Amino acid sequence: MNILDKIIADKRNEVALKKKLIISNVLEKFPLFGLTTSSLVTALRTSKSGIIAEHKRRSPSKSVINQDLNVQDVAIGYEKAGVCGMSVLTDGKYFGGSLDDLILARASVKMPLLRKEFIIDEYQIIEAKAHGADVILLIAAVLTKDEIKRFSELAKSLGLEVLLEVHNLEELEKSIMPSLDMLGVNNRNLKTFEVSTYISKQLSEKIPTDFVKVSESGISSTEAIQDLKNYGYQGFLIGENFMRTDNPGKSASEFIKELTGK
């Protein structure tokens, strides 16, 4: 069993327990559930940088990244830096995140927030809306075509945007459908955790222009982003590059200034 299989097996048990503790009808009564969402798609299409900055404490591949920073300071720093949106890891066991991180980020900033999670059940989409998310992530590697359709259509009905993540052409071809907003190519192989932007370049011409193209993981230089822009990418998810520093907001600000020449 590889790490992705372990994460999904644990996630199924976690979600089953959560559904017993708080039913979805209760989630729909949470104050943040009725909040009008902000568009990450619009932010990416009108931005010169396209940066989606991530809050991530640790990962299975890198162990501890940064446990010392609170999510509010990180969120405020990112927003001041001028990022397009913020990705918030909510998986606890493998990434050290929680839904509390999403709530705290929502209370701190107005920019679009992506719930970064291994979504395997409709419940998690309602949960995302109830905790202040604007966007959800769906991972093609762990979902069937029918699940992608059902989950993305539910998200759209709740006013959430959908970023669908793929790792290869097979996943991309099964996933393209009107209920998606953004198609992300993860440069990290979720089975081996090796990283290369080659896969983003390889799949770029296969992604229809209707969707915002997002390149994810392993991006650590402005040169890499300028290169990927030549392939039509408008969004760039960066986490570890900023989170490894003592001040992710400052790091993001300096990165964006270098990228945009301002």
Identified catalytic residue from 47, 49, 66, 116: 116
Distance CA 176, CA 189 (A): 20
Concerning whether 165 is annotated as a catalytic residue, the answer is yes
Concerning whether 251 is annotated as a catalytic residue, the answer is no
Identified catalytic residue from 129, 216, 240, 251: 216
* Block residue for tokens 């989170």: 243
Residue 206 neighbours by CB under 8 Å, 6+ apart: 169, 172, 173
Identified catalytic residue from 66, 187, 217, 251: 217
The residue ranges of DSSP E strands in 76-224, in sequence order, are 85-89, 113-116, 135-139, 161-166, 182-186, 212-216
Identified catalytic residue from 49, 59, 66, 186: 186
Concerning whether 39 is annotated as a catalytic residue, the answer is no
Whether the Cβ atoms of residue 204 and residue 213 lie closer than 8 Å to each other: yes
Structure tokens that stand for 240 in this block: 């570890």
Concerning whether 54 is annotated as a catalytic residue, the answer is yes
Identified catalytic residue from 11, 56, 129, 213: 56
Concerning whether 206 is annotated as a catalytic residue, the answer is no
The residue ranges of DSSP E strands in the chain, in sequence order, are 51-55, 58-59, 63-64, 85-89, 113-116, 135-139, 161-166, 182-186, 212-216, 235-238
Distance CA 9, CA 5 (A): 6
Concerning whether 14 is annotated as a catalytic residue, the answer is no
Concerning whether 258 is annotated as a catalytic residue, the answer is no
* Block residue for tokens 């998986």: 91
Residues 103/104/110/113 CA torsion (nearest 10 deg): -60
Identified catalytic residue from 11, 47, 49, 54: 54
Identified catalytic residue from 79, 165, 171, 240: 165
Structure tokens that stand for 63 in this block: 């162990």
Distance CA 174, CA 21 (A): 34
| Active-site amino acid positions | 54, 56, 116, 165, 186, 216-217
